[in-house]
Structure 1
Amino acid sequence: MQTASERLRAAFFPNLRWVLTKIERIAVPLLLVAVWEAFSRSGALPQALLPPPSAVLHALGDWMFGIDGSAQDYSGTWLRNALASTMRVAAGFAIAAALGIVLGTAIGWSRAIEATVEPTLQMLRPIPPVSWIPLAIIWFGIADRPAIFLVFLGAFFPVLMNTIHGVKAIDRNLIRAGAMMGASERQLLTDIVVPAALPSIFAGLRIAVGSAWMLTVTAEMVAVKSGVGYVLWDSYYFLRYDMVIAAMVSIGLLGFLSDYGIKLLMARVLRWQRTTVRRGA
Protein backbone atom coordinates (compact mmCIF):
# COMPACT_ATOMS: atom_id res chain seq x y z
CA MET A 1 0.00 0.00 0.00
CA GLN A 2 1.41 3.41 -1.05
CA THR A 3 2.33 5.96 1.60
CA ALA A 4 1.25 9.58 1.35
CA SER A 5 4.69 10.67 0.10
CA GLU A 6 4.72 7.97 -2.59
CA ARG A 7 1.28 9.03 -3.80
CA LEU A 8 2.46 12.64 -3.88
CA ARG A 9 5.52 11.75 -5.97
CA ALA A 10 3.41 9.62 -8.32
CA ALA A 11 1.05 12.55 -8.87
CA PHE A 12 3.66 15.31 -9.05
CA PHE A 13 6.64 13.98 -11.00
CA PRO A 14 4.79 12.99 -14.21
CA ASN A 15 3.42 16.55 -14.36
CA LEU A 16 6.87 17.96 -13.62
CA ARG A 17 8.36 15.92 -16.44
CA TRP A 18 5.70 17.25 -18.81
CA VAL A 19 6.41 20.84 -17.75
CA LEU A 20 10.17 20.39 -18.20
CA THR A 21 9.62 18.92 -21.67
CA LYS A 22 7.56 21.95 -22.69
CA ILE A 23 10.18 24.32 -21.26
CA GLU A 24 12.93 22.59 -23.24
CA ARG A 25 11.01 23.13 -26.46
CA ILE A 26 10.46 26.86 -25.99
CA ALA A 27 13.62 27.84 -24.11
CA VAL A 28 15.80 28.47 -27.17
CA PRO A 29 13.13 30.40 -29.16
CA LEU A 30 12.37 32.58 -26.12
CA LEU A 31 16.07 33.28 -25.58
CA LEU A 32 16.54 34.28 -29.23
CA VAL A 33 13.51 36.57 -29.11
CA ALA A 34 14.76 38.21 -25.90
CA VAL A 35 18.24 38.81 -27.38
CA TRP A 36 16.66 40.18 -30.58
CA GLU A 37 14.40 42.56 -28.61
CA ALA A 38 17.29 43.82 -26.49
CA PHE A 39 19.60 44.31 -29.47
CA SER A 40 16.95 46.10 -31.52
CA ARG A 41 16.16 48.49 -28.69
CA SER A 42 19.83 49.08 -27.85
CA GLY A 43 20.22 51.57 -30.70
CA ALA A 44 23.02 49.65 -32.43
CA LEU A 45 20.79 49.67 -35.53
CA PRO A 46 17.80 51.91 -36.29
CA GLN A 47 14.57 50.14 -35.35
CA ALA A 48 13.26 50.89 -38.84
CA LEU A 49 15.93 48.53 -40.22
CA LEU A 50 15.65 45.88 -37.49
CA PRO A 51 12.21 46.08 -35.86
CA PRO A 52 11.99 44.47 -32.41
CA PRO A 53 9.83 41.35 -32.01
CA SER A 54 7.16 43.41 -30.25
CA ALA A 55 6.78 45.61 -33.36
CA VAL A 56 6.73 42.58 -35.64
CA LEU A 57 4.09 40.92 -33.46
CA HIS A 58 1.99 44.10 -33.60
CA ALA A 59 2.25 44.22 -37.40
CA LEU A 60 1.40 40.53 -37.66
CA GLY A 61 -1.59 40.97 -35.36
CA ASP A 62 -2.99 43.83 -37.46
CA TRP A 63 -2.29 41.90 -40.67
CA MET A 64 -4.24 38.97 -39.26
CA PHE A 65 -7.09 40.68 -37.42
CA GLY A 66 -7.19 44.31 -38.59
CA ILE A 67 -6.60 45.70 -35.09
CA ASP A 68 -5.68 49.33 -35.82
CA GLY A 69 -4.84 49.58 -39.52
CA SER A 70 -1.08 49.84 -38.92
CA ALA A 71 -0.51 47.27 -41.69
CA GLN A 72 -2.22 49.74 -44.04
CA ASP A 73 -3.58 48.06 -47.18
CA TYR A 74 -2.85 44.61 -45.78
CA SER A 75 -4.70 45.10 -42.51
CA GLY A 76 -6.94 42.08 -41.90
CA THR A 77 -5.90 40.29 -45.11
CA TRP A 78 -3.60 37.60 -43.69
CA LEU A 79 -6.04 34.73 -44.02
CA ARG A 80 -6.74 35.51 -47.68
CA ASN A 81 -3.05 35.69 -48.53
CA ALA A 82 -2.21 32.58 -46.48
CA LEU A 83 -4.96 30.60 -48.22
CA ALA A 84 -3.72 31.74 -51.64
CA SER A 85 -0.18 30.57 -50.86
CA THR A 86 -1.42 27.32 -49.31
CA MET A 87 -3.50 26.52 -52.38
CA ARG A 88 -0.49 26.93 -54.65
CA VAL A 89 1.68 24.78 -52.39
CA ALA A 90 -0.99 22.09 -52.13
CA ALA A 91 -1.55 21.93 -55.89
CA GLY A 92 2.11 21.80 -56.88
CA PHE A 93 3.02 19.46 -54.03
CA ALA A 94 0.20 17.02 -54.84
CA ILE A 95 1.26 16.76 -58.49
CA ALA A 96 4.93 16.37 -57.52
CA ALA A 97 4.16 13.72 -54.89
CA ALA A 98 1.97 11.64 -57.20
CA LEU A 99 4.35 11.78 -60.15
CA GLY A 100 7.49 11.43 -58.02
CA ILE A 101 6.23 8.32 -56.19
CA VAL A 102 4.98 6.61 -59.36
CA LEU A 103 8.05 7.42 -61.46
CA GLY A 104 10.48 6.77 -58.60
CA THR A 105 8.95 3.35 -57.97
CA ALA A 106 9.18 2.51 -61.67
CA ILE A 107 12.83 3.62 -61.90
CA GLY A 108 13.81 1.80 -58.72
CA TRP A 109 12.04 -1.40 -59.80
CA SER A 110 12.85 -1.61 -63.52
CA ARG A 111 16.39 -1.43 -64.87
CA ALA A 112 15.02 -0.74 -68.35
CA ILE A 113 13.08 2.31 -67.17
CA GLU A 114 16.06 3.44 -65.09
CA ALA A 115 18.36 3.27 -68.12
CA THR A 116 15.84 5.10 -70.31
CA VAL A 117 14.52 7.83 -68.04
CA GLU A 118 16.96 8.52 -65.21
CA PRO A 119 19.79 10.14 -67.26
CA THR A 120 17.41 12.84 -68.50
CA LEU A 121 16.06 13.45 -65.01
CA GLN A 122 19.56 13.67 -63.57
CA MET A 123 20.39 16.34 -66.16
CA LEU A 124 17.33 18.36 -65.19
CA ARG A 125 17.74 17.94 -61.42
CA PRO A 126 20.73 20.33 -60.94
CA ILE A 127 18.90 23.19 -62.70
CA PRO A 128 17.64 25.57 -59.98
CA PRO A 129 13.84 25.87 -60.08
CA VAL A 130 14.10 29.67 -59.92
CA SER A 131 15.87 29.63 -63.29
CA TRP A 132 12.59 28.44 -64.79
CA ILE A 133 10.78 31.64 -63.74
CA PRO A 134 11.16 33.49 -67.09
CA LEU A 135 9.88 30.49 -69.04
CA ALA A 136 7.10 29.89 -66.52
CA ILE A 137 5.88 33.47 -66.94
CA ILE A 138 6.06 33.19 -70.73
CA TRP A 139 4.23 29.86 -70.76
CA PHE A 140 1.62 30.49 -68.07
CA GLY A 141 1.40 34.26 -67.61
CA ILE A 142 1.03 36.17 -64.34
CA ALA A 143 -1.32 33.98 -62.33
CA ASP A 144 -1.39 30.87 -60.14
CA ARG A 145 -0.09 28.47 -62.79
CA PRO A 146 3.55 29.63 -62.89
CA ALA A 147 3.71 29.41 -59.09
CA ILE A 148 2.22 25.90 -59.13
CA PHE A 149 4.69 24.90 -61.85
CA LEU A 150 7.65 26.15 -59.80
CA VAL A 151 6.36 24.43 -56.65
CA PHE A 152 6.09 21.22 -58.65
CA LEU A 153 9.69 21.53 -59.83
CA GLY A 154 10.96 22.19 -56.32
CA ALA A 155 9.03 19.32 -54.73
CA PHE A 156 9.32 16.70 -57.46
CA PHE A 157 12.98 15.72 -57.23
CA PRO A 158 13.15 15.16 -53.44
CA VAL A 159 10.18 12.79 -53.70
CA LEU A 160 11.61 11.09 -56.78
CA MET A 161 15.11 10.50 -55.38
CA ASN A 162 13.91 9.29 -51.99
CA THR A 163 11.42 6.93 -53.63
CA ILE A 164 14.13 5.48 -55.87
CA HIS A 165 16.38 5.01 -52.85
CA GLY A 166 13.59 3.40 -50.85
CA VAL A 167 12.75 0.92 -53.59
CA LYS A 168 16.37 0.00 -54.27
CA ALA A 169 17.19 -0.43 -50.58
CA ILE A 170 14.53 -3.10 -49.98
CA ASP A 171 15.79 -6.41 -48.64
CA ARG A 172 15.82 -8.71 -51.69
CA ASN A 173 14.92 -11.64 -49.47
CA LEU A 174 11.48 -10.09 -49.00
CA ILE A 175 10.95 -9.98 -52.75
CA ARG A 176 12.22 -13.56 -53.17
CA ALA A 177 9.88 -14.71 -50.40
CA GLY A 178 6.92 -13.04 -52.07
CA ALA A 179 7.80 -14.54 -55.43
CA MET A 180 8.11 -17.99 -53.87
CA MET A 181 4.61 -17.56 -52.43
CA GLY A 182 3.31 -17.02 -55.96
CA ALA A 183 2.88 -13.23 -55.90
CA SER A 184 2.63 -11.54 -59.27
CA GLU A 185 4.84 -8.56 -60.17
CA ARG A 186 1.97 -6.19 -59.43
CA GLN A 187 1.41 -7.80 -56.04
CA LEU A 188 5.11 -7.59 -55.26
CA LEU A 189 5.01 -3.86 -55.97
CA THR A 190 1.80 -3.06 -54.09
CA ASP A 191 2.18 -5.45 -51.14
CA ILE A 192 5.95 -5.54 -50.55
CA VAL A 193 7.95 -2.91 -52.44
CA VAL A 194 5.89 0.22 -51.85
CA PRO A 195 5.11 -0.50 -48.15
CA ALA A 196 8.79 -1.23 -47.48
CA ALA A 197 9.81 1.99 -49.24
CA LEU A 198 7.33 4.18 -47.34
CA PRO A 199 9.83 5.47 -44.73
CA SER A 200 12.05 6.84 -47.51
CA ILE A 201 9.04 8.17 -49.40
CA PHE A 202 7.80 10.08 -46.36
CA ALA A 203 11.29 11.50 -45.83
CA GLY A 204 11.16 12.79 -49.40
CA LEU A 205 7.69 14.26 -48.84
CA ARG A 206 8.89 16.17 -45.78
CA ILE A 207 11.84 17.61 -47.69
CA ALA A 208 9.58 18.39 -50.63
CA VAL A 209 6.99 20.34 -48.64
CA GLY A 210 9.73 22.64 -47.33
CA SER A 211 10.98 23.20 -50.88
CA ALA A 212 7.40 23.79 -51.99
CA TRP A 213 7.00 26.69 -49.57
CA MET A 214 10.32 28.22 -50.60
CA LEU A 215 9.38 28.07 -54.27
CA THR A 216 5.86 29.41 -53.90
CA VAL A 217 7.16 32.43 -52.00
CA THR A 218 9.79 33.00 -54.70
CA ALA A 219 7.15 32.76 -57.41
CA GLU A 220 4.82 35.13 -55.57
CA MET A 221 7.56 37.73 -55.43
CA VAL A 222 7.83 37.73 -59.22
CA ALA A 223 4.91 36.15 -61.02
CA VAL A 224 1.84 36.47 -58.75
CA LYS A 225 0.02 39.42 -57.20
CA SER A 226 -1.25 37.73 -54.05
CA GLY A 227 -0.02 35.47 -51.26
CA VAL A 228 2.42 35.77 -48.38
CA GLY A 229 5.43 36.08 -50.69
CA TYR A 230 3.84 38.96 -52.56
CA VAL A 231 3.13 40.79 -49.29
CA LEU A 232 6.75 40.26 -48.24
CA TRP A 233 8.13 41.72 -51.48
CA ASP A 234 5.63 44.60 -51.61
CA SER A 235 6.41 45.52 -47.99
CA TYR A 236 10.10 45.62 -48.85
CA TYR A 237 9.43 48.22 -51.55
CA PHE A 238 7.66 50.43 -48.98
CA LEU A 239 10.40 49.90 -46.35
CA ARG A 240 7.98 48.14 -43.98
CA TYR A 241 10.52 45.75 -42.51
CA ASP A 242 8.18 44.85 -39.66
CA MET A 243 5.78 43.46 -42.29
CA VAL A 244 8.68 41.77 -44.10
CA ILE A 245 9.62 39.88 -40.95
CA ALA A 246 5.94 39.20 -40.17
CA ALA A 247 5.65 37.59 -43.61
CA MET A 248 8.78 35.53 -42.91
CA VAL A 249 7.28 34.37 -39.61
CA SER A 250 4.06 33.46 -41.43
CA ILE A 251 5.96 31.39 -43.98
CA GLY A 252 7.77 29.56 -41.20
CA LEU A 253 4.50 28.88 -39.38
CA LEU A 254 2.71 27.62 -42.49
CA GLY A 255 5.68 25.45 -43.42
CA PHE A 256 5.80 24.02 -39.91
CA LEU A 257 2.10 23.17 -39.99
CA SER A 258 2.49 21.50 -43.40
CA ASP A 259 5.38 19.38 -42.16
CA TYR A 260 3.48 18.54 -38.98
CA GLY A 261 0.55 17.32 -41.06
CA ILE A 262 2.84 14.98 -42.99
CA LYS A 263 4.35 13.76 -39.69
CA LEU A 264 0.88 12.94 -38.37
CA LEU A 265 0.06 11.03 -41.55
CA MET A 266 3.41 9.24 -41.38
CA ALA A 267 2.82 8.23 -37.75
CA ARG A 268 -0.56 6.82 -38.71
CA VAL A 269 0.64 4.95 -41.80
CA LEU A 270 3.90 3.71 -40.27
CA ARG A 271 2.56 2.62 -36.88
CA TRP A 272 4.85 -0.42 -36.99
CA GLN A 273 7.92 1.85 -36.81
CA ARG A 274 7.13 2.84 -33.22
CA THR A 275 8.55 -0.46 -31.96
CA THR A 276 11.46 -0.74 -34.41
CA VAL A 277 12.92 2.78 -34.63
CA ARG A 278 15.10 4.33 -31.94
CA ARG A 279 13.79 7.55 -30.45
CA GLY A 280 15.80 10.33 -28.86
CA ALA A 281 16.46 10.15 -25.13
Structure 2
Amino acid sequence: MAIKAAFFDIDGTLVSFKTHEIPKSTIDAIAKAKENGVKIYISTGRPVAIINNIGAIEHLIDGYITFNGAYCFVGDEDIVVKPIPKEDVLAMIEDASRRNYSVIVCGKKDIAIHNYREIFTKIFVEDLGVTNIDIRKPIDSLLESPILQLTPFFSSESEAHIMPDMPHCVSARWHPDFTDITVKGADKGNALRTMAAHLGYKIGECIAFGDGGNDVSILQSAGIGVAMGNASKEVKAKADYITTSVDEDGIRNALQHFGVID
Protein backbone atom coordinates (compact mmCIF):
# COMPACT_ATOMS: atom_id res chain seq x y z
CA MET A 1 0.00 0.00 0.00
CA ALA A 2 1.42 3.37 -1.01
CA ILE A 3 2.34 5.84 1.70
CA LYS A 4 0.16 8.97 1.65
CA ALA A 5 0.94 10.55 5.03
CA ALA A 6 4.15 10.79 7.08
CA PHE A 7 4.23 11.76 10.76
CA PHE A 8 7.45 13.07 12.32
CA ASP A 9 8.46 13.59 15.93
CA ILE A 10 10.65 16.68 16.37
CA ASP A 11 13.36 16.30 19.03
CA GLY A 12 15.77 13.49 18.24
CA THR A 13 13.91 12.62 15.04
CA LEU A 14 13.70 15.71 12.83
CA VAL A 15 16.03 17.82 14.94
CA SER A 16 19.46 16.69 16.11
CA PHE A 17 20.19 16.84 19.82
CA LYS A 18 23.79 17.62 18.84
CA THR A 19 23.28 20.53 16.43
CA HIS A 20 19.72 21.61 17.37
CA GLU A 21 19.02 21.73 13.63
CA ILE A 22 17.31 19.60 10.99
CA PRO A 23 19.96 17.84 8.87
CA LYS A 24 20.03 18.86 5.22
CA SER A 25 19.39 15.26 4.15
CA THR A 26 16.16 15.31 6.17
CA ILE A 27 15.03 18.64 4.69
CA ASP A 28 15.68 17.39 1.16
CA ALA A 29 13.99 14.04 1.80
CA ILE A 30 10.84 15.60 3.22
CA ALA A 31 10.69 18.07 0.33
CA LYS A 32 10.98 15.17 -2.12
CA ALA A 33 8.28 13.18 -0.32
CA LYS A 34 6.03 16.22 -0.51
CA GLU A 35 6.72 16.52 -4.25
CA ASN A 36 5.72 12.88 -4.55
CA GLY A 37 2.31 13.62 -3.06
CA VAL A 38 2.92 12.58 0.55
CA LYS A 39 1.30 14.81 3.18
CA ILE A 40 3.66 15.86 5.99
CA TYR A 41 2.58 16.00 9.65
CA ILE A 42 4.37 16.87 12.87
CA SER A 43 3.89 14.58 15.89
CA THR A 44 5.42 16.14 18.98
CA GLY A 45 5.18 16.40 22.71
CA ARG A 46 5.97 20.09 22.41
CA PRO A 47 3.24 22.65 23.03
CA VAL A 48 2.45 24.80 20.02
CA ALA A 49 4.06 27.80 21.73
CA ILE A 50 7.53 26.20 21.75
CA ILE A 51 7.67 24.61 18.32
CA ASN A 52 10.52 26.92 17.37
CA ASN A 53 13.04 24.66 15.66
CA ILE A 54 11.45 23.42 12.42
CA GLY A 55 11.55 26.59 10.35
CA ALA A 56 13.47 24.85 7.55
CA ILE A 57 10.48 22.61 6.76
CA GLU A 58 7.58 24.63 8.17
CA HIS A 59 6.30 25.51 4.71
CA LEU A 60 5.98 21.80 3.90
CA ILE A 61 3.85 20.83 6.92
CA ASP A 62 0.18 19.95 6.40
CA GLY A 63 -0.88 19.51 10.01
CA TYR A 64 0.18 18.95 13.60
CA ILE A 65 -0.14 16.50 16.45
CA THR A 66 1.02 18.47 19.51
CA PHE A 67 1.03 17.99 23.29
CA ASN A 68 1.52 14.24 22.63
CA GLY A 69 -1.87 14.10 20.95
CA ALA A 70 -3.95 16.35 23.20
CA TYR A 71 -4.20 19.04 20.52
CA CYS A 72 -4.23 18.24 16.80
CA PHE A 73 -5.01 20.62 13.99
CA VAL A 74 -4.77 21.24 10.26
CA GLY A 75 -4.61 24.91 9.37
CA ASP A 76 -7.35 26.66 11.36
CA GLU A 77 -9.31 23.44 11.91
CA ASP A 78 -9.01 21.80 15.33
CA ILE A 79 -9.32 18.03 15.05
CA VAL A 80 -8.49 16.96 18.63
CA VAL A 81 -8.68 19.06 21.81
CA LYS A 82 -8.44 17.04 25.04
CA PRO A 83 -7.82 19.10 28.19
CA ILE A 84 -6.82 17.73 31.60
CA PRO A 85 -9.60 17.90 34.23
CA LYS A 86 -9.14 20.86 36.57
CA GLU A 87 -8.90 18.69 39.69
CA ASP A 88 -5.94 16.78 38.24
CA VAL A 89 -4.20 20.03 37.29
CA LEU A 90 -4.60 21.41 40.78
CA ALA A 91 -3.40 18.16 42.34
CA MET A 92 -0.10 18.49 40.47
CA ILE A 93 0.31 22.20 41.20
CA GLU A 94 -0.24 21.57 44.92
CA ASP A 95 2.18 18.62 44.91
CA ALA A 96 4.83 20.66 43.07
CA SER A 97 4.56 23.40 45.68
CA ARG A 98 4.74 20.92 48.53
CA ARG A 99 7.65 18.85 47.16
CA ASN A 100 9.42 21.74 45.43
CA TYR A 101 9.67 20.82 41.74
CA SER A 102 8.95 22.80 38.57
CA VAL A 103 5.99 22.21 36.26
CA ILE A 104 5.39 23.67 32.80
CA VAL A 105 1.66 24.40 32.58
CA CYS A 106 0.46 24.34 28.98
CA GLY A 107 -2.65 25.97 27.60
CA LYS A 108 -3.67 25.66 23.96
CA LYS A 109 -1.55 28.57 22.78
CA ASP A 110 0.25 29.79 25.90
CA ILE A 111 2.44 28.31 28.63
CA ALA A 112 3.86 29.27 32.02
CA ILE A 113 6.13 27.72 34.64
CA HIS A 114 5.04 26.97 38.18
CA ASN A 115 7.83 26.97 40.76
CA TYR A 116 10.70 27.74 38.38
CA ARG A 117 13.97 25.91 39.03
CA GLU A 118 17.25 25.98 37.09
CA ILE A 119 16.68 22.48 35.71
CA PHE A 120 14.20 24.04 33.29
CA THR A 121 16.88 26.32 31.85
CA LYS A 122 19.43 23.50 31.72
CA ILE A 123 17.18 21.15 29.75
CA PHE A 124 14.74 23.30 27.78
CA VAL A 125 16.94 26.30 27.01
CA GLU A 126 20.45 24.82 26.83
CA ASP A 127 19.67 21.28 25.63
CA LEU A 128 16.48 21.75 23.59
CA GLY A 129 16.96 25.34 22.41
CA VAL A 130 13.65 26.67 23.74
CA THR A 131 14.25 30.39 24.23
CA ASN A 132 10.76 31.89 24.08
CA ILE A 133 9.32 31.02 27.50
CA ASP A 134 8.92 33.84 30.03
CA ILE A 135 9.89 32.20 33.33
CA ARG A 136 8.31 35.12 35.23
CA LYS A 137 4.84 34.69 33.75
CA PRO A 138 2.33 33.66 36.45
CA ILE A 139 0.15 30.61 35.93
CA ASP A 140 -2.96 32.14 37.50
CA SER A 141 -4.60 33.44 34.33
CA LEU A 142 -3.60 30.31 32.43
CA LEU A 143 -5.44 28.11 34.93
CA GLU A 144 -8.70 29.79 33.90
CA SER A 145 -8.41 28.19 30.44
CA PRO A 146 -8.17 24.51 29.42
CA ILE A 147 -4.82 22.90 30.29
CA LEU A 148 -3.68 20.39 27.68
CA GLN A 149 -0.39 19.23 29.19
CA LEU A 150 1.68 19.39 32.36
CA THR A 151 5.43 18.85 32.22
CA PRO A 152 6.90 18.26 35.70
CA PHE A 153 10.63 18.07 36.27
CA PHE A 154 11.03 15.05 38.49
CA SER A 155 12.17 11.43 38.56
CA SER A 156 10.13 8.37 37.70
CA GLU A 157 9.92 7.66 41.43
CA SER A 158 8.27 11.02 42.07
CA GLU A 159 6.03 10.39 39.10
CA ALA A 160 4.80 7.18 40.70
CA HIS A 161 4.02 9.17 43.85
CA ILE A 162 1.71 11.74 42.23
CA MET A 163 -0.01 9.85 39.40
CA PRO A 164 -2.53 8.08 41.70
CA ASP A 165 -3.75 11.57 42.63
CA MET A 166 -4.31 12.36 38.94
CA PRO A 167 -6.65 9.49 37.99
CA HIS A 168 -7.72 10.98 34.66
CA CYS A 169 -4.15 11.33 33.34
CA VAL A 170 -1.31 9.39 31.75
CA SER A 171 2.42 10.08 31.63
CA ALA A 172 4.64 9.89 28.55
CA ARG A 173 8.27 10.12 29.64
CA TRP A 174 10.93 10.78 26.98
CA HIS A 175 13.61 12.24 29.24
CA PRO A 176 14.97 11.01 32.59
CA ASP A 177 14.43 14.39 34.25
CA PHE A 178 10.89 15.24 33.14
CA THR A 179 7.73 13.76 31.70
CA ASP A 180 4.68 14.97 29.76
CA ILE A 181 1.30 14.40 31.39
CA THR A 182 -1.92 14.50 29.39
CA VAL A 183 -5.47 13.30 29.89
CA LYS A 184 -6.03 9.57 29.31
CA GLY A 185 -6.59 8.80 25.66
CA ALA A 186 -4.41 11.70 24.54
CA ASP A 187 -1.39 10.02 23.04
CA LYS A 188 0.29 10.15 19.65
CA GLY A 189 -1.13 6.80 18.57
CA ASN A 190 -4.75 7.73 19.21
CA ALA A 191 -4.08 11.09 17.58
CA LEU A 192 -2.79 9.43 14.42
CA ARG A 193 -5.85 7.20 14.20
CA THR A 194 -8.17 10.17 14.67
CA MET A 195 -6.27 12.30 12.16
CA ALA A 196 -6.18 9.49 9.59
CA ALA A 197 -9.92 8.88 9.88
CA HIS A 198 -10.71 12.58 9.68
CA LEU A 199 -8.44 13.19 6.70
CA GLY A 200 -9.37 10.04 4.80
CA TYR A 201 -6.20 7.95 5.12
CA LYS A 202 -6.07 4.25 5.77
CA ILE A 203 -3.71 3.31 8.59
CA GLY A 204 -1.63 1.32 6.13
CA GLU A 205 -1.03 4.53 4.18
CA CYS A 206 0.62 6.20 7.20
CA ILE A 207 4.28 6.06 8.22
CA ALA A 208 5.51 7.45 11.55
CA PHE A 209 8.98 8.30 12.85
CA GLY A 210 10.13 8.66 16.46
CA ASP A 211 12.86 8.11 19.01
CA GLY A 212 11.36 8.57 22.49
CA GLY A 213 9.06 6.75 24.87
CA ASN A 214 6.22 9.08 23.94
CA ASP A 215 6.53 7.86 20.33
CA VAL A 216 5.81 4.20 21.05
CA SER A 217 2.04 4.53 20.62
CA ILE A 218 2.31 6.16 17.20
CA LEU A 219 4.97 3.71 16.00
CA GLN A 220 2.62 0.90 16.90
CA SER A 221 -0.47 2.60 15.43
CA ALA A 222 0.94 3.61 12.04
CA GLY A 223 1.04 1.26 9.08
CA ILE A 224 4.83 1.53 9.34
CA GLY A 225 6.53 2.63 12.54
CA VAL A 226 10.15 3.72 12.15
CA ALA A 227 12.49 4.10 15.15
CA MET A 228 15.52 6.31 14.76
CA GLY A 229 18.94 4.77 15.32
CA ASN A 230 19.39 7.01 18.36
CA ALA A 231 16.21 5.63 19.99
CA SER A 232 16.36 3.47 23.11
CA LYS A 233 16.21 -0.31 22.90
CA GLU A 234 12.68 -0.21 24.30
CA VAL A 235 11.47 2.08 21.52
CA LYS A 236 13.28 0.12 18.83
CA ALA A 237 11.60 -3.06 20.05
CA LYS A 238 8.17 -1.56 19.27
CA ALA A 239 9.03 -0.38 15.74
CA ASP A 240 8.52 -2.11 12.40
CA TYR A 241 11.84 -0.79 11.13
CA ILE A 242 14.97 0.76 12.64
CA THR A 243 16.76 3.37 10.57
CA THR A 244 20.03 5.19 11.24
CA SER A 245 20.24 8.09 13.67
CA VAL A 246 19.01 11.61 13.08
CA ASP A 247 22.64 12.65 12.50
CA GLU A 248 23.24 9.79 10.05
CA ASP A 249 20.51 10.60 7.50
CA GLY A 250 17.96 8.38 9.25
CA ILE A 251 14.82 9.88 7.78
CA ARG A 252 16.17 9.97 4.23
CA ASN A 253 17.37 6.37 4.51
CA ALA A 254 14.02 5.09 5.76
CA LEU A 255 11.99 6.99 3.16
CA GLN A 256 14.22 5.51 0.48
CA HIS A 257 13.95 2.03 2.00
CA PHE A 258 10.15 2.14 1.81
CA GLY A 259 10.11 3.64 -1.69
CA VAL A 260 8.58 6.96 -0.62
CA ILE A 261 11.46 8.76 -2.33
CA ASP A 262 14.12 7.63 -4.81
TM-score grouping bracket, smaller chain normalisation:
under 0.3
TM-score, L = length of structure 2: 0.24
Larger of the two Rg values belongs to structure: 1
Which structure has greater helix proportion? 1
The structure richer in strand per residue is: 2
